[in-house]
Amino acid sequence: MMIDLHTHTLLSDGVLLPVELVQRAKAKGYQALAITDHCDYSNLESVIASLRRFVSSLPKDPGLGLSFGVELTHPYPEQIPDLVKAARKLGAEIVVVHGETLVEPVPEGTNEAAIKSGADILAHPGLIKPELVELAAKKGVHLEITTRRGHCFTNGWVAASAKKFGAKLALNTDAHLPEDLTRWEDAQKIAQGAGMSLPEIEEMRKNSWKLFDQIIAKRESKK
């Protein structure tokens, strides 16, 4: 019963049309999905408009809940507060920030800026500083446990740090390719490999569902 709040399509650097991502996710047993294509100021407005149009065009599907938003990727940390505000103003239902993973040249200070700006999810935050994990717990920002190769190198650090300070975790795939989508059973094993117990993994899944339910409730309130 997979829920995944961090995925990409060909609107950024993924390879699938949004509708193909939806169909492939359903085939993997997904119950909820958020499309969060990479954005900076060059494409923020166009991506959000495209994803909103796509989601609103779909027939109701009781088998899959769908949301849309952005992953703010590689901006200067100074830009992040205004980018988060702009994304929400333009209608992004979920805001993810690309964290300081070990395998990409993300500017130092990105994790701190994302948390202070109140992003929904700080993706693959690398060897995040303990004081920032504590701040994320206070701000309600979710830290990501990821199934994506490379980014997953620090899952154990993130999981242990979140446990120490009571920060919320969310498990996502960061899918770009069809094969990146994963069944819950396999995602659960990756979380176990990061040192998480089954009750902790279930609590992580509940965190994602609570965030997703809040997104849908907010959408419905605007109708």
Domain count within the chain: 1
pTM for this prediction: 0.97
pLDDT for 1: 83
Looking up residue 63, the CATH number of its domain turns out to be: 3.20.20.140
* Mean pLDDT, residues 37-58: 98
The share of the chain scoring above pLDDT 90, in percent, equals 98
Average per-residue pLDDT for the chain: 97
What is the per-residue pLDDT across 88-107, written as a single tens digit (0 to 9) for each? 999 999 999 999 999 999 99
SS3 string of the chain? CEEEEEECCCCCCCCCCHHHHHHHHHHCCEEEEEEEEEECCCCHHHHHHHHHHHHHHCCCCCCCEEEEEEEECCCCHHHHHHHHHHHHHHCCCEEEEECCCCCCCCCCCHHHHHHHCCCCEEECCCCCCHHHHHHHHHHCCEEEEECCCCHHHHHHHHHHHHHHHCCCEEEECCECCHHHCCCHHHHHHHHHHCCCCHHHHHHHHHHHHHHHHHHHHHHHHCC
pLDDT for 222: 86
Domain that holds residue 209: 2-221
